[in-house]
Amino acid sequence: MSEFLTIGEPIALFASQDTDQSLKDALNFRKYLAGAEVNVAVGVSRLGHSAQYITRLGEDPFGDFIKDQLRENHVQTDYIDSTPDYWTAFQLKNKVSTGDPNIFYFRRGSAAAHFDAKTLDRIDFSEVKFAHLSGIFPAISEQALAAFRHLIDLLHEHNIRTTFDPNLRPQLWSSPQKMAATLNELAKEAEIILPGDNEGELLVGSRDPETIADFYLNQSERTQTVVVKVGPKGAYVKNKGEAGYWVKGFKVAQVVDTVGAGDGFALGLITALMEGKSQRDAVVRANAIGAFAVQAPGDNDGYPTSEQLQAFLDKNLTVMG
């Protein structure tokens, strides 16, 4: 039983230690756990909430590594099975002094892409308060997309509040049009949508936060809130039938790696809402965890414990006034 659940593809990440070297030339790598949705599960658990992560692993050293990492991070694994027939995914990431790193995936035909939807029928939803969905899992195969739709039906049946992060990965889709059409249709099923302003261009043809928010609020009865992530500037929030508002981001001394910030944002929002905080405070926490994430080299190693988060908020909210 858990308060939170998510489904995704976990990845063994090899992050280069050689600054500004191409992936071809880099020689030194460190291994981490990655994958957008598993990042969220790890961060939710680090803040003291029970989190269930659903996936399929290969019976291989990466699968074993991921199981160990989940155990170390106290993420529940009741709905993870493994198969000898397909490999667990892995990826390479380079280290850059500015901007976003290059990422190369080895994930086509992975174990998670062969996820068995029957696993979902075993889920105990009785304690689940929130589910987080992202646009990556439905992109990895038709089988994963069908399972994703089945999970959405189950979440609706059990009246579970859902966040949806489009998490664009154009390399996983046959065309940008197919990506936008499928993700916008899936977004209709979520109460809260978390796009980035840079994703707006491909999804709704605009980077303007209000235009993006209005698109999603108008396309579905179910969607009540859109929170558009606008990098270090913070986030633009709009609820159905209300005027939008901004929540300022936090300044960070040094950006080490931007990957994982969006997942940090999602888990900050979700945990705060699960704890009954106001929406504005939840977005403040979302921005804060995004700031933690960009200061660490792995995708989820920078996420804070509750004590670290509180200390950061005490210090920085005073400074911001």
Nearer to ligand KDG, 11 or 235 (CB): 11
Nearer to ligand KDG, 58 or 217 (CB): 58
DSSP 174: S
Which residue is it, tokens 């936008």?
Answer: 180
Instruction: Report H helices in 7-53.
Output: 36-46
What is the rounded distance in angstroms from the CA atom of residue 275 to the CA atom of residue 295? 26
> Is the distance from CB of 155 to CB of 132 less than 8 angstroms?
no
- Cα 130–165–207 angle (5° rounding)? 140
> What x/- string results for residues 112 through 141 when contact with ligand KDG is judged by CB under 6 A?
------------------------x-----
Q: Please, what is the minimum distance in Å from the beta carbon of residue 259 to ligand KDG?
A: 5
Q: In Å, how far are 147, 291, 317 from 199, measured between CA atoms?
A: 24, 19, 29
Near ligand KDG in 57-96, by CB under 6 A: none
Stretch that binds ligand KDG, among 114-122, 221-229, 256-264, 265-273 (CB under 6 A): 256-264
Among 138, 195, 200, 260, binds ligand KDG (CB under 6 A): 260
Coil, strand or helix at 68? helix
Among 31, 67, 150, 169, binds ligand KDG (CB under 6 A): 169
Q: Please, what is the minimum distance in Å from the beta carbon of residue 297 to ligand KDG?
A: 12
According to DSSP, the residues that pair with 247 across neighbouring strands are 235
Using CB under 6 A as the binding rule, whether residue 262 contacts ligand KDG is answered as yes
Stretch that binds ligand KDG, among 125-133, 154-162, 239-247, 254-262 (CB under 6 A): 254-262
Coil, strand or helix at 252? coil
Stretch that binds ligand KDG, among 28-36, 147-155, 219-227, 244-252 (CB under 6 A): 28-36
What one-letter code names the amino acid at 273? L
For residue 263, indicate whether it is catalytic: yes
Q: Please, what is the minimum distance in Å from the beta carbon of residue 86 to ligand KDG?
A: 17
Among 111, 123, 259, 282, binds ligand KDG (CB under 6 A): 259
Residue of 263, 281, 301, 314 marked active site: 263
Among 180, 203, 263, 304, binds ligand KDG (CB under 6 A): 263
Give all strands (DSSP E) within the chain, no chain letters.
4-7, 11-19, 29-34, 51-58, 80-83, 89-95, 103-106, 130-134, 161-165, 192-193, 225-229, 234-239, 245-248
Q: Please, what is the minimum distance in Å from the beta carbon of residue 228 to ligand KDG?
A: 17
- Cα 85–140–106 angle (5° rounding)? 65
> What are the phi and psi torsion angles at 34 (to 5°)?
-140, 180
What is the rounded distance in angstroms from the CA atom of residue 91 to the CA atom of residue 112? 14
Stretch that binds ligand KDG, among 57-65, 150-158, 233-241, 257-265 (CB under 6 A): 257-265
Strands 234-239 and 245-248: antiparallel
Burial of 74 (0-12, 13-18, 19+ CB in 10 A): middle
**Size of residue set near ligand KDG by CB under 6 A:** 13
> What x/- string results for residues 287 through 306 when contact with ligand KDG is judged by CB under 6 A?
------------x-------
Using CB under 6 A as the binding rule, whether residue 39 contacts ligand KDG is answered as yes
Near ligand KDG in 92-111, by CB under 6 A: 103
Query: Catalytic residues, which ones?
Result: 263
Residues in the site for ligand KDG, rule: CB under 6 A?
A: 11, 34-36, 39, 103, 136, 169, 259-260, 262-263, 299
